[in-house]
């Protein structure tokens, strides 16, 4: 367990845990902003999503089978959904509805405005999905998600069982017809994914390559093509989930060693420009706040936040 007394907020500005790896990163730093710890007590935090209309953040605690809610006004944390079917990644569609990936349910679901739950995807060609991991909604309403078998490998993040589909698939659900199609079958355990600001590029983490890679594909309507390695990670670097800002920078959950734990920031050319050091591995991030300029970081056992001098892309 992470020692809750080990981490202390910086009492000095600028916060020394925020490091520019390239001078270009300084434009995104706010000298009078520091990393804040908002909560401690998850087993494996994941899948944050900001709800601006409710002024709160939801994020997953997968092994504890719950989704937590942090309230901006009071700082209170409560269970938003329990049991959660071991929910992992979350996002919102362009109508403001929450989309969730469920390890335990082995499906992607949508929460309607009246509280009803609609199943978006649970099978492909008659076979059950593995354990949908992360999800993003394109501006045309289509839902794109990754489906590695992490949730069925054991009883910690879901229910152990044999996979029915390959561990390499990424899917798209048409926003009008609901048809599910396979868009990639060549990624070794696909994980986090996000679009570039203009939606012409889809980035996907390949989480079982050695070392891990962040791949890029050109988006061609409902398909993707031209696979390439956008970021070749070094041994010990483990990207997981990430989000993109309006300048095309990738803010990536990073970690698995003290030197790498936190957030690694890459520019649109794939060069590392900054790092936010945390005392534990960070799995995923979300931009939120009134102006989408507050970076929420779902780490292993804690939730952190930092105001930055940029904004997350709309719908990210």
Joined tokens for residue 25? 């990163």
**Per-residue model confidence as pLDDT tens digits over 156-184:** 999 999 999 999 999 999 999 999 999 99
Catalytic residue list: 240
pLDDT for 316 equals 65
Percent of the chain predicted with pLDDT > 70: 98
**Per-residue model confidence as pLDDT tens digits over 211-243:** 899 999 999 999 999 999 999 998 888 999 999
| 240 carries a ligand binding annotation | yes
pLDDT higher than threshold 70 for residue 56: yes
CA gyration radius, the chain: 18
| 213 carries a ligand binding annotation | no
| Cα distance between residue 196 and residue 206, in whole Å | 17
Look-up: residue for tokens 């994941």?
46
Contact (CB, 8 A) for 194 and 213: no
Residue 314 pLDDT level (bands cut at 50, 70, 90):
confident
Phi and psi, residue 235, nearest 5°: -55, 135
| Average of per-residue pLDDT across 86-93 | 98
Ranges 182-196, 239-253, 302-316: which has the least confidence: 302-316
pLDDT higher than threshold 50 for residue 78: yes
| 61 carries a ligand binding annotation | no
| Average of per-residue pLDDT across 120-146 | 98
* C-alpha dist (Å) from residue 61 to 58, 80, 104, 110, 154: 10, 11, 13, 19, 16
pLDDT for 1 equals 36
pLDDT for 3 equals 47
| Cα distance between residue 108 and residue 100, in whole Å | 6
> Strand 223-232's sheet: what is its strand order?
190-195, 201-206, 213-220, 223-232
pTM: 0.97
| 267 carries a ligand binding annotation | no
**Per-residue model confidence as pLDDT tens digits over 12-25:** 999 999 999 999 99
Query: What domains sit in the chain, N to C, each tagged with a CATH number?
Result: 18-307 (2.120.10.30)
């Amino acid at each position: 367990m992470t020692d809750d007394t080990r981490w202390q907020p910086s009492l000095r500005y600028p916060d020394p845990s925020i490091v520019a790896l390239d001078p270009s990163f300084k434009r995104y730093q706010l000298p009078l902003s520091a990393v804040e710890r908002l909560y401690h007590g998850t087993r494996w935090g994941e899948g944050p999503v900001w709800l601006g209309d409710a002024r709160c953040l939801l994020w997953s605690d997968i092994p504890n089978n719950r989704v937590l809610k942090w309230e901006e006004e009071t700082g209170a944390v409560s269970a938003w959904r329990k049991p959660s079917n071991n929910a992992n990644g979350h996002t919102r569609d362009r109508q403001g509805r929450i989309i969730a990936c469920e390890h335990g349910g082995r499906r992607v679901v949508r929460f309607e405005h009246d509280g009803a739950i609609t199943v978006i995807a649970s099978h492909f060609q008659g076979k059950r999905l593995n354990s949908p991991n992360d999800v993003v909604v394109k501006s045309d309403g289509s839902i794109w998600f990754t489906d590695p078998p992490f949730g069925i490998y054991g009883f910690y993040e879901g229910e152990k069982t044999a996979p029915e589909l390959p561990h390499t698939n990424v899917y798209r659900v048409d926003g009008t017809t609901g048809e599910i199609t396979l868009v990639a079958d060549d990624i070794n355990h696909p994980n986090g994914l996000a679009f570039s600001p203009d939606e012409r590029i889809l980035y996907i983490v390949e989480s079982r390559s050695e070392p891990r890679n962040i791949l890029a594909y050109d988006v061609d309507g409902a398909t993707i093509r031209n696979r390439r390695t956008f970021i070749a990670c070094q041994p010990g670097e483990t990207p997981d989930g990430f989000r993109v800002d309006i300048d095309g920078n990738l803010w990536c959950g990073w970690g698995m060693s003290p030197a790498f734990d936190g957030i690694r920031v890459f520019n649109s050319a794939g060069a590392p420009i900054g790092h936010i050091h945390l005392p534990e591995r960070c799995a995923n991030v979300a931009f939120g706040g009134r102006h989408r300029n507050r970076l929420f970081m779902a780490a292993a056992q804690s939730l952190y936040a930092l105001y930055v001098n940029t904004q997350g892309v709309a719908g990210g």
